[in-house]
Structure 1
Amino acid sequence: MPMPSTSLRWTCLTLLCISVLHCARAANCTASDSAALLDFKNGFSCQDINNPGLVCQFDTWVPGTDCCNSWSGVTCDATGQVTDISVFGFWNGDLTFQIHQSAPASTFMTQLPRLKALESIDIQFARFGDAELPKVWGQIAKLKHINIVGVAGFTGEIPKEFGNLSNLEVFHWDTMVPTTLGPGLSGSKGIPKELCKLHKLREFYVFLLPNWSGTLPDCIDGWTSIQSITINNGDPHSYGEVLNTGGLTGPIPSNLGKLKTLTYLSLVGNKFTGSIPKSFGSLSNLRTLRLNNNRLSGAIPWKELSQLKFLVTLDLKINNFHGTLPPLTPNCFQNLEYLDASNTSIWGELPRRILDLPMIGTLKFRHVRLWGWIPSATFMNASRADFNFDFSYNFLSGPPPKLPGPTGVFKAPHNKLSTSIPAAYGSLYTLDLSFNRLTGRVPTAVLAVNSLSLDGNNFTNFP
């Protein structure tokens, strides 16, 4: 008997796959998972006081119906076992919440370990009165994702039992607005050393936690799959402030330098002390390093950091660093676009190559102790038009430098710059050279700059 043609075999295989997928989608929820979810639901109340008729996801959780195909926020696998739980309420402008905790803290959300295939827990915009992260979640063997966002009244330490979550890939906790929603994670234990066993963890993210303190464990190099670590107690870039309370303390473990898979490290707004570990020079895949708004000190390990060939963002501002800026070798910081070392105690002259880093767009050294001339940019990056250079409040002297592009932002107020302003500065978006020693006439084109500050100089035609 002749073999069927290749096209016929593929057609049969495709029909078989479609049939299997159809069966997977149509699988009914297991009785045990349905019972666990109904017990889980009983721990919540769900009503918006301003709009009682607003549909709640729990309204679809009806006994006797199929949780896999008709219950909102529930996802199942092909065998009818629940893999994902999403509790997503509404948060209205007057700070009322639709979903609330109604069960005692001792039993609230403790039913989830009964879901043997559960991989993801996602809870957003709800109000829990006195709940903490349930320790029993550490028994959910297949759990991969924990995502908590904007949940009021949800507090407590990260349970050490979470170190048993050998499949965990993402831990994400965003308090969002602590003054309104409560402090989020709290306590003084920081990250339990038991969590160092999470070898599959890819992302660890916690944000705005005014009652959470403690340390990073030395064994953190056990996170052998980690790609992103964010432990921010505020963010001046996005929210305009760093919290005065809370934040992790102690030195930054040198073992962080062993995390070869790490691409993003942000420890903004904590109270870390000591120096930046030189081992950071071994973070060969790192693209972002943000250590600003801490209490770090010592010399910045420029040599080691400059070896990070993929580094794009380096934010070190508002720390107690000291020392000089070293000469830059021709091949250092080849991909660096953002460098901010403002409000530190570094001193000395700007390196000759600093404005010629091939990708540099933002360069900020505000309120440090720099002197000498600002080096002029050359042809190496003269085509960059989106630069933002800020050398405010220093002791810089000499003429204003040649800049790396026709447009951009240049700020150097409260220095000792002298001679006249180049006419080429007329194409800038923002120019602040106030309180220097500049003289002569301000070029007509410069007077037309959209945002211009030139007070405190000796111009013949300004003000």
Structure 2
Amino acid sequence: MEKPCHLFSIALVISIQCYNIVCLSDQLALNRADEEALLALKAHIILDPGNILAKNWSNSISFCNWFGVSCGSRHKRVTALTLPGMSLNGTLRPQLGNLSFLTTLDLRDNNFHGNLPPELAKLRRLKSMILSKNYFSGEIPEQIGYLPRLQDLFLSGNELSGSIPLTIFNSSSLQRIVLATNNLEGSVPDDLCDHLPVIQMLEISFNNLSGKFSPNLERCRLLQILGLSNNRFTGTIPREFGNLTMLRELYLGFNNLEGIISIPHSPCIP
């Protein structure tokens, strides 16, 4: 009677070992995908003044130890890619979308150019996309607005054109939208605040945006910074702006606006 139990135990051990081997194999494949995504980025950087990536991003060491790369302690997947202010010149590759555990992408203050790859929308865990002060051109991919956890979208100081995708204004997780100093055109939807319940900062100054301000902006109850200056907005400044009790900074200058606004706590209104 002991033999069947013994055989069952052996079968169970073999099953567990096979399961572990399969899991390990899958994990290694995912880790390779992360490494390949980073190497694809490196391969399309044409200028690295400090030679940091050229020297440090090497197969001789784990990619989790590469400069600017952070990995999670459990799965050893890339969770953050932070390379700000390095004067890197190159383009972003679609493979970046394979960094499926990425929560922070910070490439600000470099010389990246070209279009933003729509594949960035595959970064379903991404919370912060910080690509300001580069030379990105073309339109903002509407797919970015579908990122379910995105809180910070910083694309200011580029050469982006076209209209702001409506999907951006419908992304309920966004807290800070900074698209200033581009070549964006079009208007701002009247029901913006209905779809951005936690928005704290909306900075879209220095573009070619037009249209009238909606009184519904008062529904953005958490709004602290509102930058709309240096555009082509027209009409009367809504009195309802005075109901934004959290507002600290309001920028309306250099538009075709008229009227006055009274805000009890006197924010900065250039």
Q: Distance in 2 between matches of 1:304 and 1:320?
A: 18
Once the 2 structures are TM-superposed, how far is the Cα of residue 306 of structure 1 from its aligned partner? 4.9
Q: Aligned match of 1:316 in 191, 199, 204?
A: 204
Q: Aligned match of 2:65 in 107, 120, 133?
A: 120
1:348 is aligned to 2:235 = yes
Please tell me whether Structure 1 or Structure 2 has the larger radius of gyration of its CA atoms: 1
Task: Report which of the two has the higher share of helix.
Answer: 2
State the AA in 2 paired with 1:274: G
Any residues of structure 2 matched to 1:3-402 within 5 Å, and which?
Answer: 108-109=55-56, 112-115=58-61, 119-122=64-67, 144-145=70-71, 167-175=77-85, 184-187=87-90, 190-210=91-111, 212-233=112-133, 247-328=135-216, 332-371=219-258, 373-377=259-263, 382=264, 384=265, 387-390=267-270
* Partner secondary structure for residue 232 of structure 1: coil
Calculate the aligned-residue CA RMSD, in Å: 2.4
* Partner secondary structure for residue 296 of structure 1: strand
Post-superposition Cα deviations, 1:396-435, rounded to whole Å, max 9, x if no partner, equal xxxxxxxxxxxxxxxxxxxxxxxxxxxxxxxxxxxxxxxx
**Which ranges of 4 or more aligned residues in structure 1 deviate by more than 6 Å?**
none
Post-superposition Cα deviations, 1:74-116, rounded to whole Å, max 9, x if no partner, equal xxxxxxxxxxxxxxxxxxxxxxxxxx87xxx6xx446x43445
CA contact (8 A) 1:260 1:282 kept: no
The change in CA–CA distance for 1:336 and 1:306 in structure 2 (over 3 A counts) is: farther
* Partner secondary structure for residue 321 of structure 1: strand
Structure 2, unaligned stretches of length 5 or more?
A: 1-49
Query: Relative contact order (alpha carbons < 8 A, sep ≥ 6): 1 or 2 greater?
Result: 2
The change in CA–CA distance for 1:354 and 1:198 in structure 2 (over 3 A counts) is: same
Once the 2 structures are TM-superposed, how far is the Cα of residue 302 of structure 1 from its aligned partner? 4.1
Task: Please give the TM-score of this superposition, normalised by the length of structure 2.
Answer: 0.73
Q: Distance in 1 between matches of 2:194 and 2:135?
A: 28
CA contact (8 A) 1:362 1:389 kept: yes
Structure 1, unaligned stretches of length 5 or more?
A: 1-99, 124-142, 146-165, 177-183, 234-245, 391-463
Q: Distance in 2 between matches of 1:319 and 1:305?
A: 21
Once the 2 structures are TM-superposed, how far is the Cα of residue 329 of structure 1 from its aligned partner? 6.5
Once the 2 structures are TM-superposed, how far is the Cα of residue 322 of structure 1 from its aligned partner? 0.7
Once the 2 structures are TM-superposed, how far is the Cα of residue 201 of structure 1 from its aligned partner? 0.7
Once the 2 structures are TM-superposed, how far is the Cα of residue 121 of structure 1 from its aligned partner? 2.5
* Partner secondary structure for residue 214 of structure 2: coil
CA contact (8 A) 1:299 1:323 kept: yes
Q: Distance in 2 between matches of 1:257 and 1:349?
A: 30
Aligned residue pair count: 216
* Partner secondary structure for residue 144 of structure 2: helix
Once the 2 structures are TM-superposed, how far is the Cα of residue 199 of structure 1 from its aligned partner? 1.1
CA contact (8 A) 2:130 2:153 kept: yes
CA contact (8 A) 2:128 2:151 kept: yes
The change in CA–CA distance for 1:171 and 1:302 in structure 2 (over 3 A counts) is: farther
CA contact (8 A) 2:140 2:165 kept: yes
Q: Distance in 1 between matches of 2:256 and 2:217?
A: 22
The change in CA–CA distance for 1:284 and 1:120 in structure 2 (over 3 A counts) is: farther
Once the 2 structures are TM-superposed, how far is the Cα of residue 289 of structure 1 from its aligned partner? 0.6
Q: Distance in 2 between matches of 1:329 and 1:198?
A: 36
Q: What percent of counterpart residues are identical?
A: 24
Q: Distance in 2 between matches of 1:376 and 1:344?
A: 22
State the AA in 2 paired with 1:172: T
Post-superposition Cα deviations, 1:291-348, rounded to whole Å, max 9, x if no partner, equal 0000000112242355311111110100000111122276x10100110110000100
Task: Please give the TM-score of this superposition, normalised by the length of structure 1.
Answer: 0.44
